[in-house]
Amino acid sequence: MNPYGKNAKIYVAGHSGLFGSALVRSLRQRGHENILTVSHQDLDLTDGAKTESFFLEERPDYVYVAAAKVGGIQANKAYMADFAMENLLITCNVLKAAHKARVKKLLYLGSSCIYPREAAQPVKEDYLLTGLPEPTNEGYALAKIAGVRLCDYYRRQYGDNFISCIPANVYGENDNFDENTNHVIPSLIQRFHRAKVNQLPYVEIWGTGGAEREFMHIDDAAAACIFLMEKFDGAGTINIGMGQTTSIRALAQAICRIVGYQGEIRYDTSKPDGMPRRLLDSSKITALGWGPSIQLEEGLKREYEWYLENVERSK
């Protein structure tokens, strides 16, 4: 069942980011042309009045909420109030406006960091709020938890068809290479590439390298979101993952090999690892008939090629 026809108006909030741009790309590949996008300069989603006016004027049929303030461990620790407040405002304003505009269906993107730090692995959806999140990104996590639960509250109180999903760590084309806010994969790609170009003897990485994460290519994640918009109408969130983890050490070695860096990898064990291991239980979406198709090595090669073409060449 496809809930929307090719002419349905689909609003992708956060269309210029990693996740939003992949959603737009995937929707267009599926023949959807009536895709509504608006830049941050033209619409600040932290402004409730402007967000509501936009929804009431445009009346989108379907909404993907990919807009968020995101960053790695360092940024989350340093700017916890900013991460919490901005994401709370975006979440509350968009969901409230979507309710008032009576959108047919909304998909809210959460984050795997919202689960308790000490949750049993793999992490099931019902582990949410059974413990405290990782302290280094608590502000961001609490804001995203609020969004996931608000979808259920609007469904329960008003009957709105708001659903949510929790993707594993995503990476890929159009990733964030800002040194102050990027995540581990773009950070390592950029650092190994620059070390190769400048013939540096070593690259230093935060932590022991032992932390394990589940990495999913953004095109797989976008395809899963579109699949859920078409197939899933239930309460409660749903995980999207690869079903396996990779250590930061193994990830660094893979990126080093793909980039062609010949120097040493050093680990600064005085710096935090973050959550020791995070693997999502994706059995719910698997049971619905969806699975990923892009393996990590292939995905990393694609991101490095994109980086060379779009980041390095633009200098």
Query: What digits encode the pLDDT tens for the residues 260-270?
Result: 999 999 999 99
Residue 177 marked ligand-binding: no
Please tell me what DSSP assigns to residue 124: P
In tens, the pLDDT along 15-35 reads 999 999 999 999 999 999 899
Q: Are 228 and 289 in contact (CB under 8 A)?
A: no
Q: Would you say 191 is a known binding-site residue?
A: yes
Our answer to whether residue 140 is catalytic in this structure is yes
pLDDT at 314: 65
C-alpha to C-alpha distance for 129 and 140, rounded to whole angstroms: 15
Amino acid at 100: K
What is the mean predicted confidence (pLDDT) over 96-116? 96
Superfamily of domain 10-176+214-244+278-294: NAD(P)-binding Rossmann-like Domain (3.40.50.720)
Q: How far is 92 from 122, CA to CA, in rounded Å?
A: 30
Query: What residue segments make up the domains of the chain, in order of their start?
Result: 10-176+214-244+278-294
* pTM of the predicted protein model: 0.92
Read off the pLDDT of residues 229-261 as tens digits, 9 standing for 90 and up. Answer: 999 999 999 999 999 999 999 999 999 999 999
Which structure tokens are listed for 279?
């693997």
Helix, strand or coil, per DSSP, at residue 215:
strand
The Cα–Cα gap between 59 and 63 comes to 10
Closest CA to 147 of 104, 90, 101, 99: 90
Mean pLDDT across the chain? 94
The answer to whether residues 22 and 221 touch, using CB atoms and an 8 Å cutoff, is: yes
> Tens of pLDDT along 177-223?
988 777 899 999 999 999 999 999 999 998 999 999 999 999 999 99
Quick one: pLDDT band at residue 3, thresholds 50, 70, 90? Answer: low
What average pLDDT does range 51-68 have in this prediction? 97
CA distance 215 to 167: 9
Residue 9 has pLDDT above 50, yes or no: yes
Selected catalytic residue, list 140, 154, 304, 307: 140
Contact 165, 227 (CB under 8 A): no
Residues contacting 29, CB < 8 A, separation 6+: none
**Torsion angle defined by CA atoms of residues 312, 185, 129 and 116, in that order, rounded to the nearest 10 degrees:** -140
Residue 213 counted as an annotated binding residue: yes
Q: Measure CA of the first residue to CA of the last residue in the chain; give whole Å.
A: 46
Q: Which residue has better confidence, 56 or 6?
A: 56
CA distance 276 to 285: 25
| Cβ neighbourhood burial of 200 (10 Å; 0-12, 13-18, 19+) | middle
CA-CA-CA-CA torsion for 172, 178, 180, 185, nearest 10 degrees?
Answer: 20
Q: Is 206 labelled a binding residue?
A: yes
Residue 94 pLDDT level (bands cut at 50, 70, 90) = very high
User: What pLDDT shows up at residue 1?
Assistant: 41
Write down the pLDDT at residue 278.
Answer: 87
Both tokens assigned to 138 = 């608590």
**Helix, coil or strand: residue 305:** helix
pLDDT higher than 90, residue 136 = no
Residue 272 marked in a binding site: no
**217 assigned to a ligand binding site:** no
Tokens at residue 237, please?
A: 């969130």
Cα distance between residue 254 and residue 125, in whole Å: 30
Annotated ligand binding at 54? The verdict is no
Beta-bridge partners for 10: 35, 62
